Structure formats: C-alpha cells, structure tokens
Amino acid sequence: MAKTQALPHTLPNPHALSPEELATALAGNLEKGLSAQEIEARLKQWGENQVDKQQQESLLVVLLHQFTGPITFLLLAAMGLSFLFQEWLDGSAILLVILLNGFIGFFMEYNARQSMEALREMAMVPAKVLRGGRLEEISSEHIVPGDVLFLEAGDMISADARLFHTMQLEVNESALTGESLPIPKKIEVLPDSQPLAERVNMVFKGSFVTKGNGHALVTGTGMNTELGQIANLVQSAQQSATPLEKKLESFSHKLIKITIFLCVLVFGAGLLQHRPWMESLTTAIALAVAAIPEGLTIVATLALAQGMLRMARHQVIVKKLSAVETLGSTNVICTDKTGTLTKNEIEVNRIVVAGAEAQIRPNPLKGEIIFLSDPQHLQEKESYKQLLLCAVLCNTARYEIINQQEKEVGDPVETGLLKFALAAGLHLEQVKTQYPKLAEESFNSETKVMGTLHRNGDQAVIYAKGALEELLQRCTHQLTNGQPQALTPQDREEWQKKEEQIANEGLKVLAFAYKDTQETKNILLEELVFLGIAGLLDPPREDVKQALAECASAGIDVKMITGDHPATARNIAEQVGITKGQQALVIHGSNMPAYDQLSEQQKKEWLESAVFARVSPRQKLDLVTLLQANQMVVGMTGDGVNDAPALKKADIGIAMGIRGTQVAQEVADMILQDDSFPSIVLAIKQGRIIFDNIRKFVIFLLSCNLSELFLVTMVSLLAFDFQLVPIQILFINLITDVLPALALGVSPGNPTVMKHKPRHLEEPILKNAHWISLVVYAAVISACVIGAVSFGHWVVYDQSDWDLNYSNNILFFTLILCQLWHVFNMGSTKVAFYRNEVFTNKYVWLALLLCVGILALVLLVPTLAKALRLSSFDKEMAAVILGFSLLSFFLNLALRKLKIIY
C-alpha cells in the first residue's frame, strides 16, 4: 500500500510500464480486481472519482445577492430618507420588508439549488469493474486506482487506465486530443516520451468506446486524470440563461418601463396635490416594489426544479432546465421498440433446427426447460447442442443466480440466451473455461452479426449469431443429422419463410452458426455452418396502449423505429395501437436513401408512416432532420453509441437508463431509468404542467401587481382624500406575491393538459389574449376596491360617523382579499370549479390560510396595526370588505366562463 500512496506524484508514466508492473505498483490484481476493504481505504486516501465541480457561491454570498437589485436600492434610499426626516416607523417598516424579501429570495434560491443537486445525484454514470473476481456495476465516482475496468462499445470511460486485454477495441478521444476518428487500442509497452494522442495502450476519462471491448487497470481518478489536469486550467464558463429565464427577464424589463412611467405620474400628482414630497416619493418607490415581481425568475426556477424532481420520482431524469420547456412543445416521438414499448424481459420462446422445432419456456431458477409443444427429438440433435454452446460463447453478457436471486449484466437479448442455456443444463462458467475466447468480432448495426473465436482442444471454433438474412449470406452449409450439408437455395428459402412466420407472431428472430477452424488469431465469418434460429419473446408493456392513446389525444405523433424484422415491428405496432391492421405501411431500412437523395414522394411516405424497421443510426438521423425540416419538435429515443448523433440532433434526446450506453446518456437531454415509453409521455405531460404553472403564477402576479398600480394611480389622479401609504403597499406585496404564487408553481396540473395540441416552441409565456385578460383582471379588482370604499362611505356608514381612516382600512383589506381570492381564477374552466387543479391544490389552501392568519395577527396586535396605519375594525366594515372582495372574484370568474377573457 505504501507504493499506492505515492501514486499521484511518483508513479512513472503508466504507458511505459507493463500491466504486471503497474499491478504490482498499485497493489492490484489483473485477474480478480480489488477487495471491498481495499476499496474503502483507497476512497479515503484519494477521494471520489470526480473532476472538481464548479465552485458554488457560498450561502452568505447568495444571501447578500438578494439585496443587490435595483428595487432594493430604491427601498434602501427610501429607508434612508425616512430615517433622515425622523420617520422612524416608516423607515423601520421598509427595513423589515427589505429583510423579509431578501430572506424569502434566499430560501427559494437555496431550495432550487438543493433540488438541482438532488437531480445531479440521480444522474450518476455507472461503470463496470472487477471486484473480488466478479463483474459489478457501480457508480463511476467509486472507482479507485488499482480497479480493473471492463469496457465495451457505448461505455463512457470514467478514469485513466492502462489496457491489458483488448478485443478490437476502438476509442473516441476527440474530447481530450481533438482527434476526430476512433483510435484502435493496443496493449504493448510504449516509450516514456510518447505524446498523449499516441498512447494507444491507455484509455482516458471523458472518452468513449466505439467498438469492441477490453480490460484496463485504473491508474488515475478524479483530478489525477488527464481530464482533471485540463479542468484545473480552464475557468468555468458562466451558465447561460434558459429560454424561459430570458422570456421572464424580458417581462421584467417591459414591466419596469411601465412602472417607472406610472410612478413618475403618481409622484407628480402628489406634488400637484400639495402632499409632502417625501410621502409622494416613498409612495412612488413602494408602488415600484409592488408592481415588479422581483422573485419571478427564482419562483420559475424553483417550479422547474420541483417539477424535474417530480419526474425523477417517476424514473425520468431531465438533465437541463431548458429541456423542460421543449418537452411541453414536443409533437413527434420517435421511439425504439425493445424495452420501451415492450417489457425487455427477453426469453427464448421458439427453437428451430434442421428437422426439429419446439416452443419452450426456460426456467433458469429451477434449471429446466418446459416444452410447450412436442420437442420432436430436439434435445438429441447435434445442431441443438451446438446452438446452446453458441448462445453461451458468442455472448458478452453475464448471468448468475445467487441465493435464488438473478443477477444480470449486459444486453437483455444476450442475458435471455444465457438463461436459456442455463435452463438447458449447461454450466456457464464451465463452458467458458472449456472454450477460452481468443478473439471477437463485435455486433454492430451495419453487419448485424457477432462472432467469437474459441480454443477447442488443439483446434479452434468460430461461433456467430445475428440477423438471419445477414448470417445466411455467410453460410455455405447447415448442420443436418449431425453432419454439415450443403445449404441449397431451397433451404435458404425455407429458413426465410420460417423466420417470417415466427416474426409475424411478434417474436425477435436470431440466427446461429459455427465453423471449426485452424485459425487462432483472426475471425473469418465466411463459409459458416448454419445451426438454426431462436424466436425470442418480448411482450408489449401493459401500460403502453394507454400512453399511446394519451399521445393521440394530445396531438403527439408516435413513430416506432427499430432494427427488428418488419413483420415483428408491424405485429408489435398493431398490438400497442400505433397502427391499425396488417396493411399499415412499414418502411424498411433498405428502402431509405440518404436525406439529400429523398424524392418528394419518399418524404411524404416517411412523414406519414408510423413504423420503420431494420433502420440504421444514420437513417434515424435523416428521419429527425426531415421531421424538423417540417417544423416538428422531435423527441428521439436511443441507447447505442451510434444513436448519439440522432439524440443530439433531436429537440429532446431521450436515452435509456437500463440498456442505454453511457455515451447515449451523456448527449441526451433526459434519461429514462426504466426504459418505459409511458415515462416519456409522463415527462411531456409534466413539461406541459410546469409551463402552465409558470404561466398561471405569472398571470396571477402581474394581474395583482397591476391592480395595485391602477388603484394607486387612479386614487392619485382623482385626488381622493384616501390613499394607501407606502408601508401598506409593501405589506400587500409581501402577502400576495409570495405564498400563493409558490403554491401555483407546484400545482399538480390541469387534468385536461393532455387534451390539446402542443404549443409552438416560440410561443411566449403570455400571448396577447393573456395580456388582455390580466389587464381586465386588474381593472375588475381595482373597480371593486374603489366600489367597496364608496359603498362604505355613502351607504353603510352615516356621514357624521365617517372617518377617513375607514376608507384606508377598506381599501387595504379589500385589495388584499381580492388578490387572495383571485388565485382561484387561475384554475381550468374545462372542469367543475371544485375539481380544478387550483381548488384541489392543498398548497394553495395552506398559502391562503397563512395569509389570512397574518392578517388576523395584524388586527389583533396593536403595535402591528399602528405600524400599518390601521384603525378600528367592525362587523359592517368586515361585511363590506368580504362582499366586494368576493364580488371581484365572481365577476372575473363569470368573464372567464363566458370566454370573454382567458
């Protein structure tokens, strides 16, 4: 262990040492990896494997930032003038408002920060390591020097490591070296002076595997990696604002201009009416505070973060705030089939070899195969025995049963084959030991075939599996009655018919072949002996049909894109409701030319078709390009390395969390932890809800604030004897702007949100109809408040008993209650009032309860009443206030029901 302690400073260039020398220096084990005790000690010594995050501002700095806005400076100026002219009560009240506003802003920003940190924790990247001789999947942050990594195509490399075993391994290191082409990797020792870009026996943190697989010994983690050293030299860029934040910022600027104009008007009117200039100035400043919703951006960020956490609880990790806004505008979803529309619980359901066929159900836990049809001597066939060996050896997955608990790592199709072989009586590790792997030709979307070379005594054997049409082209013989016999055109036709028949039943078809060979280094997947085919069952998810129906009602088009056989794709599409009838158009990848070669007719077919089969990643990218060219907002699912371009090109890239590669997850905007299509629909629904909630509280805040502007301006211009004093304006702003707006921001959502078409991505938060509506809302509130004062003055009270303080009381309390009841006007009118999303929102009721409680406290505590310039309060006044405040609510509700306003 003493040697490992000096690793970051004294270990020679690892590329210049042999793997064995490095293992000795790191006290590691190339065959078994590290033990649990060693891991714990090394984590304490070097810390977690992560590049230092951007230094966050301290909480003290965040708190101080709450007091640096232009509105706060205006308040501070008003406070200073109040103290200067010995208006101690006003000055103290303004100071209290400044402090309360600051602490509320701090709390919301802190809450948003905590929410985003929780999301970051959920999005940790996994890594496969050898621990105690077993392959395990762990969080990449727990990798330590001396660990043995297992890398395969699609993996993001999580640490710097020295390769000691490779199978056609190629790595994209463009993020580190700028080299755009993948680098073929080797294991030979290199000179000390070898440049970084030419260290082909090393892999580096931040790069990713594009082909093959391999094992590597970790030599550096965290800041002791090449990527970490670069991070030390680069200053973190300022995070750019999201489109939503920019829209909110634009709002604020418009509102500030309107407010300044009205404040100058109020100040001027006060001077013309010979009111004290200090009172007029303070009123104008307080009005500015009342008019501008300072916490708008913070509340919006908090609403986004809380909505993203809500998605995370439903297995959807959204990585970018800006993606939430795009989610609500998505009108096309291009989805994979396997594991997304289907359960991804792959099991072998059909086995066909020459002369025998059977429908089966493997039970690996009991070590038996249940035959659902006559086995026709299947188990006695040599081709069946060879097919079982092929299923185990031409396979990179791992499957084992520990204490009756299944543990699997790798592709679900490959783990399904291992379950089949184990159920058939094969000992998986024993077979792999008997036939050690010498070389591997990895499966890729172009060849659609995988091959492995194994030692078989003094000779070698090649096993291959893949798509039938591709594998048959590489076969010259088939194994019949224990002997290879020439594969005739009629045989080929029979196998293709059998594949079509099985695929039409919704099964995925996989073909198998082998070849004895003298070659022990290279795999030549030619002149193979065909063994047979397996039909693998992956039934549709039960909840997919309902999710697709919801997409249809929401105006969202769904296209299924799969590498599977067209018949399999059509069958599943019909089962889940994407298409109706066997005559639905299915576009085959072989009939999909490059985008720049598409005819107008082909473009039309692509746009109209809902099912695409045997599609390559390049064709996925072309389809996204075509859809976007037709003004569509595209959500695209993907799981492989080659899917990364399409995921990045799509408006919303959706990576799979279970079977998705790290590269796909890295470039995607969101990750489905359960790989489920209904989770995509849920994310779109939540995206719509979040945007609707933001729109609701923006309308609520602006209409309430505008009502204060209208009211104070109207009273000033008409030279009434009553007026809201500055401290009252500040108090009203504090009561009505914060709690109800926050409650609207976390609303569960309009129940009809998925009943209308997606909004345009460029649609502003408030359209013209919304602006008109909030002006009407504000006018109704203002009119009812003035009405309350007039009614109290001329009807309720005898003129001899009337006190100007009564006017102020009625003005103050009626305005507050009008604004509090106004929150219920933000609910949907498409459902019964008592069932809409605002009325049933417990946070709204809690906010109102707290606000009413604060008002009661003001009335019951004489010191507070005096500070707010409030006088006596009686039943008649309470009746006037309650009546006119409810009148404003019902008037606005009636205007909404009549669809005169939004």
Q: Among 9-18, 151-160, 329-338, 588-597, where is mean pLDDT lowest?
A: 9-18
- One DSSP character per residue, 311-336 reads HHHTTEEE--HHHHHHHTT--EEEE-
pLDDT digit string, tens, across residues 247-290: 666 666 676 677 778 778 778 877 887 777 777 776 777 666 66
Helix, strand, coil content of the chain in percent (nearest 5): 50, 20, 30
Q: In whole angstroms, what is the distance from residue 171 CA to residue 210 CA? A: 5
User: What value does the mean pLDDT take over residues 26-38?
Assistant: 87
Same domain, 506 and 603: no
For the chain, the straight-line distance linking the first and the last C-alpha, in angstroms and rounded, comes to 71
Q: Which of 740-763 are b and which e, b meaning 16 or more Cβ less than 10 Å from the residue's Cβ?
A: bbbbbbbbebbeebbeeebbeeee
We report the CATH number of the domain holding residue 659 as: 3.40.50.1000
Question: Which one-letter DSSP state was computed for residue 590?
Answer: G
Alpha carbon separation from 626 to 632, 649, 703 (Å, rounded): 9, 11, 42
Instruction: Provide CB contacts within 8 A for 618, sequence distance 6+.
Output: 594, 642
- Write the single-letter amino acid at 647: L
pLDDT category at 426 given cuts 50, 70, 90 is very high
Q: In whole angstroms, what is the distance from residue 810 CA to residue 514 CA? A: 91
Q: Which of 469, 509, 360, 499 is nearest to 421 (CA)?
A: 360
Token duo for residue 346: 């792959």
Has residue 238 got a pLDDT over 70? no
Q: Cα–chain-centroid distance for residue 288?
A: 38
Q: Is 54 a domain residue?
A: no
* pLDDT in the model for residue 742: 81
Is 245 in contact with 235 (CB distance < 8 Å)?
Answer: no
Same domain, 399 and 451: yes
Token duo for residue 759: 């909004």
| Relative orientation angle of helices 677-717 and 296-313, to the nearest 10 degrees | 160
Same domain, 608 and 529: no
* pLDDT in the model for residue 670: 87
Q: Is 90 a domain residue?
A: no
Has residue 648 got a pLDDT over 80? yes
Average pLDDT over the chain, rounded to an integer? 83
Considering 224, 256, 272, which residue would you say is the last residue of a domain? 224
Q: Find the angle CA(45)-CA(48)-CA(50) to the nearest 5 degrees.
A: 135
Which is it for the CA torsion 265, 266, 271, 273, positive or negative?
positive
Q: Which of 893, 891, 879 is nearest to 788 (CA)?
A: 879
Q: Among 306-320, 392-406, 582-596, 751-765, where is mean pLDDT lowest?
A: 306-320
Considering 537, 560, 581, which residue would you say is the last residue of a domain? 537
Has residue 291 got a pLDDT over 70? no
Q: In whole angstroms, what is the distance from residue 390 CA to residue 163 CA? A: 28
Same domain, 450 and 494: yes
Question: Above pLDDT 90, what percent of the chain?
Answer: 33
Domain, as residue range, for 265: 244-310+684-897
Considering 675, 709, 736, which residue would you say is the last residue of a domain? 675
Has residue 875 got a pLDDT over 90? no
Q: Among 389-398, 530-539, 547-556, 564-573, where is mean pLDDT lowest?
A: 564-573
pLDDT category at 782 given cuts 50, 70, 90 is very high
Q: In whole angstroms, what is the distance from residue 319 CA to residue 328 CA? A: 15
Q: Is 886 a domain residue?
A: yes
Q: Among 159-163, 403-407, 724-728, where is mean pLDDT lowest?
A: 724-728
The pTM (predicted TM-score) of the whole model is 0.68
Same domain, 352 and 295: no
Is 750 in contact with 689 (CB distance < 8 Å)?
Answer: yes
List the beta bridge partners of residue 149.
129, 216
Q: Is 73 a domain residue?
A: no
We report the CATH number of the domain holding residue 217 as: 2.70.150.10
- Write the single-letter amino acid at 535: G
Same domain, 618 and 707: no
Q: Among 513-517, 684-688, 724-728, where is mean pLDDT lowest?
A: 724-728
Same domain, 790 and 849: yes
Three-state DSSP state, 70: helix
Is 531 in contact with 514 (CB distance < 8 Å)?
Answer: yes
Is 411 considered catalytic here? Answer: no
Has residue 897 got a pLDDT over 60? yes
We report the CATH number of the domain holding residue 442 as: 3.40.1110.10
User: What value does the mean pLDDT take over residues 698-722?
Assistant: 81
Has residue 78 got a pLDDT over 90? no
* pLDDT in the model for residue 433: 93
Q: Among 375-384, 640-649, 841-850, where is mean pLDDT lowest?
A: 640-649
| Look-up of token digits 């707010």 | 868
* Count of C-beta atoms within a 10 Å radius of residue 687: 27
Q: Which of 847, 859, 660, 596 is nearest to 746 (CA)?
A: 847
Q: Is 125 a domain residue?
A: no
* pLDDT in the model for residue 237: 34
Has residue 755 got a pLDDT over 50? yes
Domains in the chain: how many in total? 4
Q: Is 85 a domain residue?
A: no
User: What value does the mean pLDDT take over residues 558-562?
Assistant: 92
Has residue 240 got a pLDDT over 60? no
Instruction: Provide CB contacts within 8 A for 804, sequence distance 6+.
Output: 721, 722
Q: Is 360 a domain residue?
A: yes
* pLDDT in the model for residue 248: 65
Q: In whole angstroms, what is the distance from residue 901 CA to residue 774 CA? A: 9
* pLDDT in the model for residue 406: 83
Q: In whole angstroms, what is the distance from residue 426 CA to residue 437 CA? A: 17
Is 704 in contact with 819 (CB distance < 8 Å)?
Answer: yes
We report the CATH number of the domain holding residue 248 as: 1.20.1110.10
* pLDDT in the model for residue 719: 67
Q: In whole angstroms, what is the distance from residue 371 CA to residue 359 CA? A: 6
Same domain, 356 and 333: no
Q: In whole angstroms, what is the distance from residue 534 CA to residue 1 CA? A: 51
Catalytic residue among 155, 336, 564, 669: 336
* pLDDT in the model for residue 818: 95
Has residue 889 got a pLDDT over 60? yes
543 φ, ψ (degrees, to nearest 5): -90, 0
Q: Is 827 a domain residue?
A: yes
Question: Above pLDDT 70, what percent of the chain?
Answer: 85
pLDDT digit string, tens, across residues 513-547: 999 998 888 888 999 999 999 999 887 888 899 99
pLDDT digit string, tens, across residues 652-678: 989 887 767 666 777 788 888 888 889
- Write the single-letter amino acid at 243: P
Token duo for residue 868: 């707010």
Is 806 in contact with 870 (CB distance < 8 Å)?
Answer: no
Token duo for residue 270: 């006060």
Is 209 in contact with 226 (CB distance < 8 Å)?
Answer: no
What is the β-pairing status of strands 483-486 and 449-456?
unpaired
Same domain, 394 and 293: no
pLDDT digit string, tens, across residues 194-224: 877 788 999 988 788 877 889 999 998 887 8
pLDDT category at 113 given cuts 50, 70, 90 is low
Same domain, 443 and 360: yes
- H/E/C letters for each residue in 442-486? CCCCCCCEEEEEEEECCEEEEEEEECHHHHHHCEEEEEECCEEEE
Same domain, 833 and 691: yes
Same domain, 508 and 581: no
